[in-house]
Amino acid sequence: MALDIAMNEQVAPAATSHPLDPLSGAEIEKAAGIITASERATDTLRFVMISLEEPPKPATLEFDPLEVPARKAFAVTYDAAQKLVTEVVVDLDAETVESWTPVPGRFPCYLSDAMLGVEQQVKLDPRWQEAMRKRGVEDFDLVMVDPWPAGYFGPQDSYETSPTICRPLSFVRAAPGEHGYARPVEGVIVTYDMDAGRVLDVTDHGVVPLPPKAGNYSEKYEMFSPENRPAFTGFRDDLKEIVITQPNGPSFTVDGYGVTWQKWAFRVGFNPREGLVLHTLTYQDRGVERPIMYRAALSEMVVPYGDAAPTHWNKNVFDMGEVGMGMSANPLTLGCDCLGEIFYFDGVVNDSLGHAVVIPHAVCMHEEDYGIAWKHTDFRTEEVEVRRSRRLVVSMICTVGNYEYGFFWYLYTDGSIEYQVKLTGVLTTGAFTGETPKYGVAVAPGIYGPHHQHFFNVRMDMAIDGPNNSVYEIDSVVEEEELNPHHNAWYTTATLVKSEREGARDWNWETNRYWKITSDRLNELGERTAYKLEPHDVVKPFVQQGSYIYDRARFVQKPVWVTRYDPKERYAAGDYMAQSAQMQGLPVYLEDDAGLENTDVVLWYTVGTHHIVRPEDWPVMPCAYIGFQLKPVGFFDGNPALDLPPSAPDGGHCTHHEG
């Protein structure tokens, strides 16, 4: 890890290597060199992603320090000349290729640097230039060309008939550096051959005038001009500074990628596809290290659009599987993205030639005060006991074209876990004249935001008190009338998810349904220790049967999926969904109907947002927050936050200001 030193930043102590540590830059380049030197490599072979080949999960969930597994790399390569994806495993210790597995019939996600030349080549195409001139655009330097993933238009996009393609969309800045998404070029769709680096087709569905107003949000572009933002005259001058300090340093400790904080322990991972990964999450309870999750990470996301217009109907990007969240991670900034006493982990990814690319400060970790943890006032004695809550935040923020996605894991002092996605950035826009389009909302004169949804699936390899777990569906049910004379009684039922045939689960608003993951260990009350998945932001998908995206994104059709652990089953929509109409991922994982009782189970949760845009989302969106929680249920013998110390009433922590 490379860490810069600055105020409020923590510097890594001497690192202790661990089998789950992400690959270093040197290891990435070593793996690429071994593959390139192989007799099976060609001059046209390129590297899509290089990441750690994670060692087999130990039966005890802990690695024996005396039996260190070989350090290995997993590489996805693509040879455009052969139109062939290959998966290669490299033994870095032995410096050999362990396996070389062609994956015919599949397209890769985008190579990290393959998109860099798309804009230049599109602008050279005379058909595209003609379409721009029809719209009064003569200065092509003002045009932004976003290389959108192709989606799937039909059989012409399939592996049998098509190269690797993208479908770039164009936007025109009013002046150099200004907000380009404020002036979308409606109706012009480019099809671009990423294998050959050339434009295949330009389709123009008719001229729609460019929107008349700028949409700037940066001070240097006169964002407060009367024409642009008449309601504002300048920045607020009455917002007082908040300074977050921890004079004695943070409460966490870091050893390499291992973290301990307030009885929690885990390891941070990072790779080009998933980005942030949490490994071996445990909680120390009265001196015993108790496992909760072996591995947790985003497994896929998709953004289906609900607009029938030619420019928008096929927008349904799998931002992780087609682009890569690790590849899209931001270098985070102290005091802006993260606030307080910060520890940063760098992310290391690769370019298409196998060179290591360091994303400095890709993962941010810090503590936050989170209000009251618990409180009670004895009104008879006027005795008051109150404790402050604290949470540890581990996060990354990714930019994919116009959107920003923040992915946040929160660990709490009461043993709870929360996952939150923060959505911000800029809307994907369309241009219109006359009435606002039926399938969107106007956000400024001549600009609208199409209806769309975002779905994120998180894969959690559960390990509640060990590897033998079961999942129960908990419903609250009104008691039958003959047993309920006062019409107030209700109780809960627990339904075991017995096998993968039953593994796709729906939420039920009428029963306030949640899911409980139990161990094979009993607590002092004779109940199985457990955590519960508390669903938030359950969104009905508007992905409709008969559309190509329906099968491609089947994971959005159910909020909860339960599978038996299989290290090859990592992604909710499958390994390679680019330009494929086939159903992959979770529905296929369930087909073998493996048993799910008292075994190694994986929990997959899909969280979503139903985005009917607002004028307030323009020109840059305020954050939307979606997520879920995991809470202990009989895991502890009482409130685990009971031992939190009282806060000092002085020193500014509990100061009362007279009015």
Torsion sign across C-alpha atoms 104, 107, 111, 116: positive
> Which of these, 385, 341, 390, lies nearest to 369 by C-alpha position?
390
Q: Is 25 helix (H, G, I), strand (E, B) or coil?
A: helix
Q: Is 99 helix (H, G, I), strand (E, B) or coil?
A: strand
**Helices and strands: H and E segment counts in the chain:** 5, 33
* Helices within 499-642 (DSSP H only): 548-552, 586-589
Bond prior to 619 in cis (omega within 30° of 0): yes
> Cα–Cα distance between 48 and 349 in angstroms, integer?
10
> Cα–Cα distance between 32 and 24 in angstroms, integer?
12
Cα 549 off chain centre by: 20
Query: What torsion, rounded to 10 degrees, do the Cα atoms 310, 312, 314, 316 define?
Result: 180
Cα–Cα distances in angstroms (integers) from residue 290 to residues 64, 463, 649, in the given order: 17, 9, 34
Q: Select which of 21, 146, 319, 600 is catalytic.
A: 319
Q: Is 191 helix (H, G, I), strand (E, B) or coil?
A: strand
> Cα–Cα distance between 632 and 254 in angstroms, integer?
25
> Which of these, 185, 182, 166, lies nearest to 174 by C-alpha position?
182
Backbone angles phi, psi at 219, to 5 degrees: -55, -35
Query: What torsion, rounded to 10 degrees, do the Cα atoms 142, 144, 145, 146 define?
Result: 180
Q: Select which of 110, 181, 257, 403 is catalytic.
A: 403
Contact yes or no for 396/404 (Cβ under 8 A): no
> Cα–Cα distance between 617 and 637 in angstroms, integer?
46
Q: Residue 100 has which token pair?
A: 């070389």
Contact yes or no for 459/602 (Cβ under 8 A): yes
Q: What is the identity of the amino acid at 203?
A: T
Supply the DSSP symbol for 503: -
Q: Locate the DSSP E strands across 8-149.
A: 9-10, 45-52, 72-79, 84-91, 96-103, 143-146
3-state SS, one letter per residue, for 377-419: EECCCCEEEEEEEEEEEEEEEEEECCEEEEEEEEEECCCCEEE
Which residues are within 8 A (CB) of 648 and not within 5 positions of it... i.e. 6 or more apart? 654
The H or E element that residue 32 is part of is: helix 25-37
> Cα–Cα distance between 389 and 160 in angstroms, integer?
57
Residue 403 designated active-site: yes
Task: Give the chain's radius of gyration (CA, Å).
Answer: 26
Catalytic residues: 319, 403
